[in-house]
A and B are shown apart, each in its own frame.
Chain A
Amino acid sequence: MLKQLNVSAIKDGTVIDHIPTKALFKVVQILKLDEFNNMVTFGNNLDSKVMGTKAIIKIANRYFEDEEVNKIALVAPNAKLNIIRNYEVVEKRVVQIPEQVNGIVRCFNPKCITNAENVSTKFQIISDKPIEMKCYYCEKITYENEIKIK
């Protein structure tokens, strides 16, 4: 069966699919894709049967460790990773919200020391659906809809 790809094909690499359109640039930030030298292509506002619209990211010649990619679960909990080898999807992976999140997210509490001084944030995930993360420093909770990438 011949499939038309919305974003051009890669020979080897990773396709991150089912990213909420709002989260595309957050995923770019979290994975620091702006610092990559590999070919990276993006598609946004693509039609999706499940999500209405979605975003997709294709990264040539790059595979991710779970620990690295699980961070995107904070903004794209339903993202799917497709491992491409020789133009074929050889493996599909889902992302999992880690128990502990270091850096990445800003604490929602404006009076938190992490927003006043150059302190890397640390959160404990106390609920995954919806996401609730407790700040190690100020002990306040940042909720899913308040998540801002640092």
Chain B
Amino acid sequence: MGKKDLISITDFSKEEYLKIMELSQKFEENPSQSLLKGKVIATLFFEPSTRTRLSFESAISRLGGKIIGFSDSNSSSVSKGETLHDTIKMVSNYADMIIMRHPMEGSARYAAEVSDVPVINAGDGANQHPSQTLLDMYSIMKTQGRLDDLNLFLVGDLKYGRTVHSLLMALSQFKNPIFNFVAPPELAMPDEYKLFLEQKGIRYFEHLEFNDIINQADIIYMTRVQKERFIDPVEYEKVKNIYILKNDMLANTKPNVKILHPLPRINEIHTNVDSNPKAYYFTQARNGVFTRMAIISHLLNLQ
């Protein structure tokens, strides 16, 4: 085989996570690189996603590479009925790497099997989006100086939110994490993840509210509570109000605490938090460019 892909966060070892952190920092210090000189990277977005696509394309450009691809399936051969198999076969003849987003779950794993060049999954339906997790980790590393011994608050939709599941899996590789799950019963962390933590002897606590306890947090990871998950709109209204993070709630939090959010935010973080130095979500998005530079150069073995 010899080729390496990034499809799920668990495809990487702890050593690789650390290598990505180190490379991200290196690229942040010096974002103008020529490691991808003479190389062509395909960004295939079968489903539109402006944020993720631009972040990857910025990363490729900063590495000195060229970009081919499409940003929605209307402008691609898919609209002519070509299968994913054939599109990937064709593109892997044209590019040195494929970065793809596709609405079907498992599409990225399948593309990696079909392709002769490395594949990065930039989101396969509700399944995996590993570069998001790595940029979350880099944001944590950068602001806390470590990935061990952290008290992490995961807030909001912990049932369907893939970002919190992937982050939990990745951080469970590090020493002594404490997870605090804040979610309504309808959106609680699934049993399989709690069982996984129990088997690894990792402490976690479940809460319905977080106002009185966030002072313990090193990281507050907010997610969007999706209205469409609720059958009863009254239930949604109740829950929505509990999970709005407001600036005054941060008054007695630790000085090192940072608020993360995978974005887009709807109303779960009040805009009055934005100017607080503990708000980190916009910098977190910026970090994504350096993390993606790191992922690309790691998979292509460019150092």
Interface set of A (CB-CB < 8 Å, partner B): 107, 109, 111-114, 116-119, 135-140
A111-B126, A113-B110, A119-B110 in contact; A138/B105 too (CB < 8 A)? yes
CB neighbours (8 Å) of B85 from chain A are 117-119
A112-B104, A112-B105, A113-B104 in contact; A137/B110 too (CB < 8 A)? yes
B109 touches A116 (CB 8 A): no
> Is B177 in contact with chain A by the CB < 8 A criterion?
no
Q: A111: which of B84, B104, B109, B110 is its contact (CB, 8 Å)?
A: B104
The listed residue with most A CB atoms (<10 A of its CB), out of B106, B125, B126, B128, is: B106
Shortest distance between the CB of A136 and any CB in chain B (Å): 7
Closest chain A residue to B10, Cβ basis: A139
> Is B115 in contact with chain A by the CB < 8 A criterion?
no
Task: Give A136 to B8 CA distance when docked, in angstroms.
Answer: 11
CB neighbours (8 Å) of A109 from chain B are 105-106
Contact with A along B115-143 (1 / 0, CB 8 A): 00000000011111000000000000000
Shortest distance between the CB of A75 and any CB in chain B (Å): 23
Task: Give A42 to B107 CA distance when docked, in angstroms.
Answer: 40
| A-B interface contact total, Cβ < 8 Å | 55
Interface set of B (CB-CB < 8 Å, partner A): 8, 83-85, 102-107, 109-110, 124-128
B128 touches A139 (CB 8 A): yes
CB neighbours (8 Å) of B105 from chain A are 109, 111-113, 137-140
Task: Give A137 to B109 CA distance when docked, in angstroms.
Answer: 6
CB neighbours (8 Å) of B109 from chain A are 113, 136-138
Task: Give A116 to B104 CA distance when docked, in angstroms.
Answer: 8
CB neighbours (8 Å) of B103 from chain A are 111
A-B contact pairs, 19 of them (CB 8 A): A111-B125, A114-B110, A116-B84, A117-B83, A117-B104, A117-B110, A118-B85, A119-B110, A135-B106, A136-B106, A136-B109, A137-B105, A137-B106, A137-B109, A138-B105, A138-B106, A139-B8, A139-B128, A140-B105
Closest chain A residue to B103, Cβ basis: A111
Task: Give A112 to B85 CA distance when docked, in angstroms.
Answer: 14
A139 touches B127 (CB 8 A): yes
A113 touches B84 (CB 8 A): yes
Task: Give A110 to B44 CA distance when docked, in angstroms.
Answer: 23
Shortest distance between the CB of A22 and any CB in chain B (Å): 28
Shortest distance between the CB of A139 and any CB in chain B (Å): 6
Task: Give A137 to B124 CA distance when docked, in angstroms.
Answer: 10
Shortest distance between the CB of A68 and any CB in chain B (Å): 25
The listed residue with most B CB atoms (<10 A of its CB), out of A107, A117, A137, is: A137
Closest chain A residue to B102, Cβ basis: A113
Task: Give A135 to B124 CA distance when docked, in angstroms.
Answer: 14
Task: Give A148 to B107 CA distance when docked, in angstroms.
Answer: 21
CB neighbours (8 Å) of B125 from chain A are 111, 138
Task: Give A119 to B127 CA distance when docked, in angstroms.
Answer: 18
CB neighbours (8 Å) of A139 from chain B are 8, 105-106, 127-128
Closest chain A residue to B114, Cβ basis: A119
Known: A113-B105, A113-B110. 16 other contacts (CB 8 A): A113-B104, A114-B110, A116-B104, A117-B83, A117-B85, A118-B83, A118-B85, A136-B106, A137-B106, A137-B107, A137-B110, A138-B124, A138-B125, A139-B127, A139-B128, A140-B127
CB neighbours (8 Å) of B110 from chain A are 113-114, 117, 119, 137
Task: Give A72 to B49 CA distance when docked, in angstroms.
Answer: 43
Shortest distance between the CB of A18 and any CB in chain B (Å): 33
| The 10 A-B residue pairs with the shortest CB-CB distance in the complex, in nearest-first order | A137-B106, A138-B106, A138-B105, A113-B106, A113-B104, A113-B107, A137-B109, A111-B105, A113-B110, A112-B106
Task: Give A29 to B32 CA distance when docked, in angstroms.
Answer: 59
The listed residue with most A CB atoms (<10 A of its CB), out of B84, B104, B124, B126, is: B104
Task: Give A113 to B124 CA distance when docked, in angstroms.
Answer: 10
Task: Give A119 to B102 CA distance when docked, in angstroms.
Answer: 16
CB neighbours (8 Å) of A119 from chain B are 85, 110
Task: Give A138 to B124 CA distance when docked, in angstroms.
Answer: 8
A111-B104, A138-B105 in contact; A117/B8 too (CB < 8 A)? no
Shortest distance between the CB of A127 and any CB in chain B (Å): 12
Closest chain A residue to B104, Cβ basis: A113
